[in-house]
Amino acid sequence: MGDGAEVVVVRIKEGGCPPGVRCLTIGRVVPRRGVEVPDGDYLVVMSPAVAQAVDVGKLRQRFRCVVCVGPSTARAVGGCAVPREYTSYGVARLLKELAPGRVVVLRSSAGNDVLRRLLPGVVEVPVYDVELDPAKIRAAAEAVAQARAVVVTSSAVAEAVAKAVDLGGKVVVAIGAVTSQRLAQLGIRHITAEEATIEKAVETAKKALI
């Protein structure tokens, strides 16, 4: 298969890559300037890229608690609560278990609407935009075409990959529930990782190939 790999991970932005697989980035993060974050009780950080766009350390002084969507975000931010399920649904469940308070969410402008639907009154602040790179999408499509399995790490990735390459006959793994919903809407057969991390998604893909 040349420089290909049986399992390919496609994501928007750079990050760690599990051994034995190929990870490809199809976009980049563009921090927004002059973002104003209102005061609140709970500050929710929805990706490691948020820490690149704003000074979470300074913002945390204005909040009772900081919540990070998953382990990689927690490593980037430090000192935050992490839900049992590393998705928007997991964040919503955690916040419902805590004392009432105003929730402010820092995220991408391309984020899903799950928290807005599940948490009335939540304030979402887009702190960065995502720019997709057509050349990188083509490169990812070529890698996916050669691979036996592909890990899809977001709804935006699902849409981009589905348009660029035929996923029929591939093992397609959604990293979490929101991505799974988008793949289902696109009519793509897939399985969902047991845990919403790239490591677990890759493990799920490898198990499916046995």
User: What residue spans define the domains of the chain?
Assistant: 7-28+132-209, 36-129
Report the C-alpha gap between 71 and 61 in whole angstroms: 21
Domains 7-28+132-209 and 36-129 share a fold: yes
Distances (CA, A) of 95 to 29, 61, 71, 103, 205: 27, 19, 17, 8, 31
Q: Say yes or no: domain 7-28+132-209 is CATH 3.40.50.920.
A: no
Between vectors from CA 100 to CA 98 and to CA 101, what angle results, nearest 5°? Answer: 110
Report the C-alpha gap between 205 and 208 in whole angstroms: 5
Q: Provide the residue-wise pLDDT of the chain in tens; the chain has 210 residues.
A: 345 589 999 999 888 899 999 999 999 999 999 999 999 999 999 999 999 999 999 999 999 999 999 999 999 999 999 999 999 999 999 999 999 999 999 999 988 899 999 998 999 999 999 999 999 999 999 999 999 999 999 999 999 999 999 999 999 999 999 999 999 999 999 999 999 999 999 999 999 998
Which segments of 27-176 does DSSP mark as H helices, in order?
49-53, 56-59, 71-77, 88-97, 114-118, 134-146, 155-164
Q: Kindly tell me the burial class for residue 18, based on how many C-beta atoms sit within 10 Å of its own C-beta (0-12, 13-18, 19 or more).
A: middle
Q: Say yes or no: domain 36-129 is CATH 3.40.50.300.
A: no
Report pLDDT for 1.
38
DSSP letter string over 77-101?
H-S-B--SS-SHHHHHHHHHHSPP-
Report the C-alpha gap between 195 and 201 in whole angstroms: 7
pTM (predicted TM-score): 0.87
The residues, any chain, with a CB within 8 Å of residue 44's CB and separated by 6 or more, are 66, 67, 68, 69, 91, 95, 103, 104, 105, 106, 107, 115
- Per DSSP, the chain holds a count of helices (H) and strands (E) of 9, 10
The residues, any chain, with a CB within 8 Å of residue 39's CB and separated by 6 or more, are 62, 63, 102, 104
